[in-house]
Amino acid sequence: MAPTPPPSPVQPAPCDAPRPAGAGGTLAVAVLGSTGSIGTSTLDVIAASGGRYRAALLAAHTSVAALLEQARLHRPEWVVITDPGAAATVGATALPAGTRLAVGPDALDELLRGPGIDRVVSAIVGAAGLRSTWAALDAGKTVALANKETLVMAGPLVTRLAAERGAALVPVDSEHSAIHQALRSGGSDEVVRVILTASGGPFRTRAAETLAAVTPEEALRHPTWSMGPKITVDSATMMNKALELVEARWLFDLAPEQLDVVVHPQSIVHSMVEFVDGSVVAQLGPPDMRLPIQYALSYPRRHDGPARRLDLAQGLRLEFEPPDPRRFPAVRLGHEAARRGGTAGAVLNAANEVAVGAFLAGSLRFTDIAEVCARILDRHEFRAAPSLDDIRRLDSWAREEVVQWSRS
């Protein structure tokens, strides 16, 4: 691990002013990406909440059958299908009484801005999640943020928007939830560093020379977490930790030198914060996303919920080791993107998204993912203070570069 840097001031996270609950004390929740891994866990939390939360809007892209099934169970006011082609397959009688259908990302943004939504769970996968997160924050809503890509791509713009609109951003990512919780035990100027834990994924102990031959099936077999395919591959390369370093930098306004990563194969300690007096405060729990999701909905309070609990009576072994840079070159890219800021995060994220897609489709080797990302990050036309348009342009450029590279 890096030597301990001197303390530097840390601003409070842009996430300390959640809005009050709506009528009857029930929070009306919009679940974006409701058919995914985080989306379905969010619906578990809502169902177990005894009326604290209700699903007011469910949105998915193409998984129409699963979305309609969720609508029948949760009776939201709205279901939104962002892909118009998929929406065209919905029959007139498919929706339960009281639920209406909206189609496309513009319609979604408009509903999120409206008065019927108290909290937005942003759990769309990839860069596609940025626009709806932006719309919700622009309308001053509280966002429970799973879509880390939003902050990786446009962290400074997103946190500034939240501050200007009086919106709140509460992390769902388990590491950032742990950090958010640990930060509550000290002043922001007392934080020395933040240590993100990483499981190390399925290849933590595999010989580096053999990684080029890894198959998608092997990469999708995560030892501790059950997640969507994209983030599962990101965990196998540890690009997920790279993205999370950038996410943490912007979410908690940390200096790049304050960010550290440690591999912790049991995924029980979800991250830690070291304070000036040497205290290290950690948050622990079984690997179950329902806890950080619920925390993001209930913050600043806590209540009972469906997440699994630690059973210390069964015995508990916790191990920590530094990430191996030979096996996991992606981690360095995360430190680099966090240090450079500007357009580096957006380019790294876009290149990685396409590279992961190509790996899953069998047209790129596992080890090429980090390599192509490194090259594209090096070669891009860096901007230190980009606009959203600059970010979108470089996102498209990076995607095209990966396509060219995988053809060559």
- Token pair of 192 as six digits: 């020395």
CB of 230 to ligand NAD, least distance (A): 6
CB of 9 to ligand NAD, least distance (A): 28
CB of 36 to Mg ion, least distance (A): 14
At 164, is the secondary structure helix, strand, or coil?
A: helix
> What, of Mg ion, ligand NAD, none, does residue 271 touch, CB below 5 to 8 Å by kind?
none
> What, of ligand NAD, Mg ion, none, does residue 61 touch, CB below 5 to 8 Å by kind?
ligand NAD
Residues 173-212 close enough to bind Mg ion by CB under 5 A: 173-175
> What, of ligand NAD, Mg ion, none, does residue 70 touch, CB below 5 to 8 Å by kind?
none
Q: Interhelix angle for 330-340 vs 344-360, to 10°?
A: 150
239, 370 contact by CB (below 8 A): yes
User: Would you say 61 or 186 has its CB closer to ligand NAD?
Assistant: 61
362 φψ region: left (φ > 0), alpha (ψ -120 to 50), beta (else): left
CB of 164 to Mg ion, least distance (A): 27
Which residues bind to ligand NAD, rule: CB under 6 A? 33-39, 60-61, 63, 82, 123-125, 128-129, 146-149, 173, 225, 227-228, 230-231, 289
Q: What count of other Cβ atoms lies within 10 Å of the Cβ of residue 362?
A: 9
CB of 400 to ligand NAD, least distance (A): 18
267, 316 contact by CB (below 8 A): no
87, 65 contact by CB (below 8 A): no
**Cα angle at 84 between 83 and 87, to 5 degrees?**
90
> What, of ligand NAD, Mg ion, none, does residue 54 touch, CB below 5 to 8 Å by kind?
none
User: Would you say 49 or 132 has its CB closer to ligand NAD?
Assistant: 132
What is the spatial distance between Cα 402 and Cα 43, in angstroms, rounded to a whole number? 36
CB of 237 to ligand NAD, least distance (A): 13
User: Would you say 37 or 343 has its CB closer to ligand NAD?
Assistant: 37
As a whole number of angstroms, the longest Cα–Cα distance in the chain is 63
CB of 283 to Mg ion, least distance (A): 13
Question: Taking CB positions, which residue lies at the least distance from ligand NAD?
Answer: 36
> What, of ligand NAD, Mg ion, none, does residue 60 touch, CB below 5 to 8 Å by kind?
ligand NAD
Residues 115-174 close enough to bind Mg ion by CB under 5 A: 173-174
Closest CA to 13 of 192, 249, 194: 249
Residue 200's Cβ-count burial label (10 Å; 0-12, 13-18, 19+) is buried
Q: What is the phi/psi pair of residue 109, to 5°?
A: -60, -40
User: Would you say 129 or 386 has its CB closer to ligand NAD?
Assistant: 129
User: Would you say 173 or 288 has its CB closer to Mg ion?
Assistant: 173
**Beta strand pairing status for 27-32 and 53-60?**
parallel
CB of 339 to ligand NAD, least distance (A): 22
ω before 6 within 30° of 0 (cis)? no
Q: What count of other Cβ atoms lies within 10 Å of the Cβ of residue 256?
A: 16
User: Would you say 191 or 239 has its CB closer to ligand NAD?
Assistant: 239
> What, of Mg ion, ligand NAD, none, does residue 296 touch, CB below 5 to 8 Å by kind?
none
The 10 Å CB-count burial string (b at 16+, else e) for 175-189 is: bbbbbbbbbeebeee
- Number of residues forming the site for Mg ion (CB under 5 A): 3
Q: What count of other Cβ atoms lies within 10 Å of the Cβ of residue 257?
A: 17
User: Would you say 231 or 398 has its CB closer to ligand NAD?
Assistant: 231
User: Would you say 186 or 235 has its CB closer to ligand NAD?
Assistant: 235
What is the spatial distance between Cα 20 and Cα 7, in angstroms, rounded to a whole number? 34
> What, of ligand NAD, Mg ion, none, does residue 357 touch, CB below 5 to 8 Å by kind?
none
CB of 83 to ligand NAD, least distance (A): 7
**Beta strand pairing status for 168-171 and 142-145?**
parallel
> What, of Mg ion, ligand NAD, none, does residue 171 touch, CB below 5 to 8 Å by kind?
none
DSSP state of 321: B
Residues whose CB is less than 8 angstroms from the CB of residue 115 and which lie 6 or more positions away in sequence, other chains included: none
CB of 216 to ligand NAD, least distance (A): 15
User: Would you say 231 or 347 has its CB closer to ligand NAD?
Assistant: 231
User: Would you say 37 or 199 has its CB closer to ligand NAD?
Assistant: 37
Query: Which residues of the shown chain bind Mg ion in the complex (CB under 5 A)?
Result: 173-175
